[in-house]
Amino acid sequence: MAKDPAFLFYSSDFLTGTMFMTNEQVGLYIRLLCAQHQHGGRIDTNVLRTQCESITNGSLVYSKFEHDDTGSFSVRLDEEMKKRKEKGIKARESVNKRWNKDLYDSNTNVLRSEDENENVIKDKKEDKKESTRENQFKKPTQEEISIYLSEKYPTANKNAINTFSEKFYNHYDNNGWKVGKNKMKSWKLAFTSWNETIQKDLFPSVVKSIPSPSFNSKNMNR
């Protein structure tokens, strides 16, 4: 199977998630996302660390990735790649079924046997069960949220992480674990809309150190 040449890019989410990053950090971040996509969904963790150490405050870019035995990866991109792959597989299966049906009907004047119809019904039921299992959501505990944040932001203050975890948990526990009007599918993905708060609560010194943009009055009058 040929390598997928593209992935969905949600510009609004990306702008929100990189609000407090410099142009240099954003440039490295998007290059690393492309590298993950082109290298089977994983980046060598040592390569990632070296790249992040080569720029100013590269730890902010490093914190955007999860790490396991297979390498480093963006959770959001990893899930989008899987969704796109599954969608492609289902599309091909649908085309093949339609093609086989047309071929069968054109060569015979008989209806499908009862066994074939039962198999079709069984396949549909299995697909529905599988879809239901995939959409099940498990509510996290505050401790799980704290552990996740500690791993994602190892340099953040422990008390700040616990305070933010409580804030995050209470917010969604009060609204029934919904994102907008929709039921939450992944509580880890919900952090993408909290990036600004995370930076303020967990890294207040970094936020304060970002210089405000200055404007030249002569340039403004041109």
* Token code pair at residue 187: 């509580």
Q: Where residue 117 falls among pLDDT bands split at 50, 70, 90?
A: low
HEC profile for 4-54?
CCCCCCCHHHHHHHCCCCCHHHHHHHHHHHHHHHHCCCCECHHHHHHHHHC
**Per-residue model confidence as pLDDT tens digits over 44-91:** 999 999 999 999 999 999 999 999 999 999 999 999 999 998 888 888
CA atoms within 13 A on the CB side of 183: 6
pLDDT number for residue 106: 61
pTM of the model: 0.44
**pLDDT tens column, 174-192:** 999 998 888 898 888 888 8
Does residue 131 carry a pLDDT above 80? no
pLDDT in tens, 80-115: 999 998 888 888 888 888 877 766 666 655 555 555
Task: Please state, in angstroms and as integers, the Cα–Cα distance from residue 77 to each residue in 156, 162, 182, following that order.
Answer: 24, 27, 21
The full set of domain ranges for the chain reads 1-104, 142-209
